[in-house]
Structure 1
Amino acid sequence: MKNKLLATLFGAALVLGACGGGNNNNNAGEGDTASVDADKVFQSNCATCHGGNLEGRGNAPALANIGSELSESEIHDIIQNGRGGMPGGLIQGEELDAVTKWLAEKK
């Protein structure tokens, strides 16, 4: 019984540790997307599927020119709510806003 509990706790720790890589900076200026490194957030949360150079992988689309295909609000909506095989909510708050703006500039 103890082994099952230990295995369950260890598994849960691995799963939770793999989710995100959120920046928990509580600095003044919160809400200022300029203080968020959008590329770093992307690399931590999105590059596994979309590629480190925005080239896309497998079923995940390339994002190198996404700003010329979708508006900033459409990009925000997809990141927030998900679409197709992409789950929503992987990035939230000021990180979501910063990555949205950064991707919208990719034309």
Structure 2
Amino acid sequence: MRKYIKTFMFASFATVFLAACGSGGQSNNEASTQDGQTADTLYARKCANCHGGDLQGGFGPALDRIGEQLTKEEIVSVIENGQGGMPPKILQGEDADKVAQWLSEMK
């Protein structure tokens, strides 16, 4: 019985975690309406729920010094493909590139 309860609790937590970090935005079939937004605005809309508004972390890791650990290209890959508990396709294309450039300067 305890094993069942632990499994249920883990599944519940994982569901809530993934829902909180989900893009909550457009499907891949919808046209992008984010053109022209700055990197920090995109971050606030798509990333801050998990990584914190001040880049200090939350559900996801802190990103305040991520530029010391990853290159811009590596950050783009994580944004577009996901990693660990982060789902893929939070941002794509030019938007992912903008945010990755901005984050790569965090040192």
User: After TM superposition, is the score higher than 0.5?
Assistant: yes
Q: CA deviation at 1:92?
A: 1.1
Partner of 1:99: 99
2:25 equivalent to 1:20? yes
Partner of 2:90: 90
Gaps of 5+ in 2: 1-22
Q: CA deviation at 1:73?
A: 1.0
TM-score (norm 2): 0.68
Contact residue 76 and residue 97 of structure 1 kept, 8 A: yes
Larger-Rg structure: 1
CA apart distance, 1:81: 0.3
How well do the aligned residues superpose, as a CA RMSD in angstroms? 2.0
Task: Note the alpha carbon deviations across 1:49-95, whole angstroms, 9 max, x for none.
Answer: 0000000003x100000001111111111001000000010101211
1:83 aligned counterpart, secondary structure? coil
For residues 22-101 of structure 1, the aligned pairs below 5 Å read: 24=33, 35-58=36-59, 60-101=60-101
| TM-score, reference length from structure 1 | 0.68
Does the 8 A contact of 1:36 with 1:94 survive in 2? no
Identity %: 43
1:80–1:89 contact (8 Å) kept in structure 2: yes
1:36–1:98 contact (8 Å) kept in structure 2: no
Structure 1 unmatched runs, 5+ = 1-17, 27-34
- Runs of 4+ in structure 1 off by over 6 angstroms are none
Q: Distance in 1 between matches of 2:105 and 2:37?
A: 16
